[in-house]
C-alpha cells in the first residue's frame, strides 16, 4: 500500500480509468489506480466496443465528409434532446481524435468501418467503428500504454482492491478508503479522486431502486455493482437519470432460471439485418409493436411500455424451417437442449396448448394469428403497420421464445459539471471528486435512447481529457 499522499487516486481500471491514468502519469502526477478485480479492462471484456467519431482519418480516406457539429446534431435527433448538451459539447469534438489515437496504438479496426450501423437508431453518416474482436480490440490497443504508464516510478496499480467510501473533510474529498480481498482496509490520501468504477448492471437491488422496481436482465460484467455511484452519493453527490431508462431490444437468458444474457446468444431482431418472420406478443398474447419497424428506438420504447419488459417471440415449425436463423449464436446442441429443458423456450401442438405453456390468453393468440394471416394474404393491412409478412403462423406445432428487455449500460449516475466534477443537488461541486465513464450514467450522453458509439468513445475521450486537465491543475498546485 501507499503510506504517502498521492496526487491522484483513480478507482477503476476500465474504459475510462485507463486512459485517464495514462495521461495523468505522463503529466508527472503521482497516480495510484485501484481495481477491484484482478484484471484491467472492465466492460471491454464483454462490450461490442462500438465507437463513434467525426472527422477521422479513416473517414477522409473513404471520402466521407463529416464533422463534430453534424455528429452532435445526429445525437440530439436520436435522443430527442434528452442528453446533457454541455457534456456532449465537451466530448464529441474530441472523439474523432480518439479514434485516430487508437489507430496510432495499433487498433485492429474492422475493415468495414466506418459504417452506418442499425443495431441502434442509425446516424445519417458513416461514423461508427469497432474492432475485429469487439471491446477486446480496444483493450488490446490501450493495455500496453497503460502497462507502460503503471511501470513508471510515479504510478502504481493495485488490483484486488475496491473502494469502500470516500474521505470527506469539510466540503472536499481528500481520499478514499480501500479494502483488499482479505478484508483489510486502508485510507489513501489524495489531492483528487476520480471515480471510473462503471455502472450497476449486475446489481439487481440498485437497478430496481434506480428504475422503479424493474427486474434486471443483464449482459453486464459481474463486477458492475455501482460502488462508485454509491460512494459519491454517500459523499453528497446527486444521482440523476433514474427516469431515463430504456431497455435493449431484447435478450434471451442463457441459463434456465437465470437473468444473465450472453451476447453470443442474442436473437437477430434487427430488420435491417434479418426481417422478422415471427410475432412479438405480450404476456396476454397481444401484439404490442410493429415487428419490422426500422426504428430501433420505436421498438425499445414499445418494450419499455410493457410492465415486465418481456414478450414471447412466436412462430411455427414452417417458419422455423423457412426463415433465416432467429438465434444464430446458439449451436444446434444448445438449441436442442433449450427446446427440451429451458423455461424460456416453449413448443406446443395447437393454440390452447401454446397458451397453457406460455401463460398467454388463447383467444388473444387466435386474434393475433388471424390478423397477421390476413395481412400475409393481402386481405387487409396489418393492424400494426407491418410490411414484411412472409407467411401466416398457423401451426399445428407452435414455438415461442421468451425475450426480455435487457441492460448493458445503466442510465443513472453521478451528476457532474462539464469539468467532470461531482455535483450536489444544489449544483455546487464536491471539490476533489471527479467522475467519468458509466458512473456518470449512460443517459447523461445518450439520454433516453441508445446512440451508437456514445458509451465507449466518451469514456475513452473524457478519460484522456480529464487526465490531462488534472495533470496541469494538480501540478500547479503542487508547486505553489
Dihedral, 15, 18, 23, 28 alpha carbons, nearest 10: 160
Which pLDDT does position 438 carry in this prediction? 96
The model's pTM is 0.91
pLDDT tier for residue 449 given thresholds of 50, 70 and 90:
confident
In a domain, 16, yes or no: yes
pLDDT at 478: 63
Distance CA 311, CA 401 (A): 8
Report, as an integer, the average pLDDT of 355-378.
98
Residues 121 and 234 grouped into a single domain: yes
Identify whether residues 23 and 106 lie together within a single domain.
Answer: yes
- C-alpha triplet 139, 24, 67: angle, nearest 5°: 65
In a domain, 1, yes or no: no
- Range list of β-strands (E), 196-323: 239-240, 248-251, 279-281, 310-316
- Mean of the pLDDT values across residues 180-201? 95
Residues 68 and 115 in one domain: yes
Q: Which of 405, 428, 462 is the last residue of a domain?
A: 405
Those residues whose C-beta lies under 8 Å from the C-beta of residue 472, and which sit 6 or more positions away, are: 27
Same domain, 129 and 207: yes
Name the residue range of residue 400's domain.
Answer: 248-405
**Alpha carbon distance 220, 200 (integer Å):** 8
Strand partners, 163: 178
> Do 199 and 234 fall into the same domain?
yes
Question: Residue 316 domain-assigned?
Answer: yes
pLDDT at 1 over 70: no
pLDDT tens digits for range 219-259 = 998 999 999 999 999 999 999 999 999 999 999 999 898 99
In the prediction, which pLDDT does 227 show? 96
Is 466 found in the same domain as 413?
yes
More confident residue, 35 or 409: 35
Report d(CA 70, CA 78) in Å as an integer: 12
Report whether pLDDT(14) > 90. yes
CATH of the domain at 293: 3.90.700.10
pLDDT band, very low/low/confident/very high, at 2 (cuts 50, 70, 90): low
| Mean confidence (pLDDT) of the chain | 95
pLDDT at 463: 98
- pLDDT recorded at residue 474: 87
Question: Which pLDDT band, with edges at 50, 70 and 90, does 47 fall under?
Answer: confident
pLDDT at 13 over 90: yes
3-state class of 354 per DSSP?
helix
Q: What average pLDDT does this structure show over 447-476?
A: 94
Cell numbers given for 380: 387487409
The verdict on residue 263 lying in a domain is yes
pLDDT digits (tens, 9 = 90+) for 49-79: 999 999 999 999 999 999 999 999 999 999 9
Does residue 302 fall inside a structural domain? yes
In-domain check, residue 27 = yes
Residues 6+ apart with CB under 8 A from 212: 242
Pairing of strands 413-414, 239-240: antiparallel
CATH number of the domain bearing residue 170: 3.50.50.60
Report the domain count for the chain.
2
Q: Are residues 32 and 138 in the same domain?
A: yes
Alpha-carbon gap, residue 54 to 478, rounded angstroms: 37
Grid coordinates belonging to 79: 435522443
- In the listed set 405, 434, 454, which residue is the last one of a domain according to the structure? 405
User: What phi and psi, each to the nearest 5 degrees, are found at residue 477?
Assistant: -65, -35
The reported pLDDT for the residue numbered 3 is 59
> How many other CB atoms are there within 10 angstroms of residue 71's CB atom?
26
Query: What pLDDT sits at residue 221?
Result: 87
Do 161 and 205 reside in the same domain of the chain? Answer: yes
Task: Mark which of 370, 388, 405 sits at the end of a domain.
Answer: 405
Q: Is residue 339 part of a domain?
A: yes
Same-domain pairing of 201 and 290: no
Which tens digits make up the pLDDT trace of 98-128?
A: 999 999 999 999 999 999 998 888 999 999 9
- Say if CB 265 and CB 330 are below 8 A apart: yes
Residue 93 confidence (pLDDT) above 70: yes
Give the percent of the chain with pLDDT over 90: 91
pLDDT band at 479 (very low <50, low <70, confident <90, very high): low
Nearest in space to 335 (alpha carbons), one of 326, 77, 43, 42 = 326
277 located within any domain = yes
Q: Are residues 214 and 328 in the same domain?
A: no
Instruction: Decide: 354 and 399 in contact? Cβ < 8 Å.
Output: no
* Pair 399, 461 in one domain: no
| Pairing of the two strands 172-180 and 185-195 | antiparallel
Judgement on whether residues 127 and 226 belong to the same structural domain of the protein = yes
Amino acid at each position: 500500500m501507499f503510506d504517502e499522499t498521492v496526487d491522484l487516486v483513480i478507482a477503476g481500471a476500465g474504459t475510462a480509468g485507463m486512459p485517464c491514468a495514462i495521461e495523468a502519469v505522463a503529466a508527472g502526477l503521482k497516480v495510484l489506480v485501484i481495481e477491484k478485480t484482478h484484471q484491467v479492462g472492465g466492460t471491454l471484456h464483454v462490450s461490442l466496443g462500438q465507437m463513434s467519431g467525426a472527422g477521422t482519418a479513416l473517414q477522409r480516406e473513404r471520402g466521407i465528409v463529416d464533422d463534430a457539429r453534424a455528429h452532435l446534431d445526429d445525437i440530439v435527433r436520436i435522443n430527442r434532446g434528452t442528453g446533457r448538451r454541455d457534456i456532449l459539447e465537451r466530448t464529441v469534438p474530441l472523439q474523432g481524435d480518439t479514434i485516430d489515437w487508437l489507430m496510432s496504438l495499433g487498433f485492429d479496426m474492422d475493415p468495414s468501418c466506418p459504417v452506418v450501423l442499425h443495431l441502434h437508431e442509425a446516424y445519417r453518416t458513416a461514423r461508427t467503428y469497432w474492432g475485429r474482436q469487439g471491446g477486446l480490440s480496444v483493450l488490446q490497443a490501450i493495455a500496453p500504454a497503460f502497462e507502460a504508464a503503471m511501470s513508471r516510478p510515479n504510478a502504481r496499480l493495485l488490483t484486488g482492491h475496491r473502494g469502500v467510501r470516500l474521505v470527506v473533510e469539510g466540503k472536499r474529498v481528500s481520499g478514499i478508503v480501500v479494502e483488499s480481498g482479505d478484508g483489510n482496509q486502508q485510507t489513501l490520501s489524495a489531492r483528487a479522486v476520480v471515480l471510473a468504477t462503471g455502472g450497476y448492471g449486475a446489481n439487481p437491488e440498485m437497478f430496481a431502486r434506480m428504475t422503479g422496481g424493474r427486474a434486471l436482465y443483464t449482459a453486464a460484467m459481474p463486477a458492475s455493482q455501482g460502488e462508485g455511484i454509491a460512494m459519491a452519493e454517500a459523499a453528497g453527490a446527486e444521482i440523476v437519470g433514474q427516469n431515463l431508462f430504456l431497455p435493449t431490444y431484447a435478450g434471451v437468458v442463457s441459463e434456465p432460471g437465470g437473468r444473465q444474457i450472453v451476447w453470443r446468444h442474442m436473437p437477430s431482431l434487427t430488420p435491417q439485418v434479418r426481417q422478422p418472420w415471427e410475432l412479438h406478443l405480450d404476456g396476454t398474447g397481444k401484439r404490442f409493436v410493429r415487428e419490422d419497424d426500422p426504428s430501433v428506438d420505436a421498438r425499445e420504447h414499445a418494450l419499455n411500455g410493457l410492465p415486465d419488459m418481456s414478450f414471447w417471440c412466436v412462430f411455427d415449425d414452417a417458419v422455423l424451417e423457412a426463415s433465416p436463423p432467429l438465434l444464430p449464436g446458439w449451436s444446434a446442441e444448445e438449441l436442442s437442449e433449450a427446446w427440451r429443458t429451458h423455461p424460456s423456450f416453449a413448443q406446443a401442438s395447437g393454440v390452447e396448448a401454446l397458451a397453457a405453456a406460455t401463460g398467454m390468453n388463447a383467444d388473444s393468440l387466435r386474434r393475433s394469428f388471424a390478423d397477421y394471416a390476413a395481412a400475409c394474404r393481402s386481405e387487409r393491412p396489418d393492424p400494426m403497420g407491418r410490411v414484411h409478412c412472409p407467411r401466416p403462423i398457423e401451426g399445428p406445432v407452435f414455438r415461442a421464445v421468451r425475450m426480455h428487455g435487457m441492460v448493458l449500460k445503466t442510465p443513472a449516475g453521478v451528476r457532474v459539471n462539464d469539468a467532470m466534477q461531482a455535483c450536489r443537488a444544489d449544483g455546487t461541486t464536491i471539490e476533489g471528486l471527479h467522475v467519468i465513464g458509466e458512473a456518470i450514467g449512460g443517459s447523461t450522453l445518450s439520454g433516453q435512447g441508445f446512440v451508437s458509439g456514445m458509451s465507449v468513445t466518451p469514456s475513452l475521450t473524457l478519460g484522456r481529457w480529464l487526465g490531462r486537465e488534472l495533470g496541469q491543475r494538480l501540478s500547479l498546485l503542487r508547486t505553489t
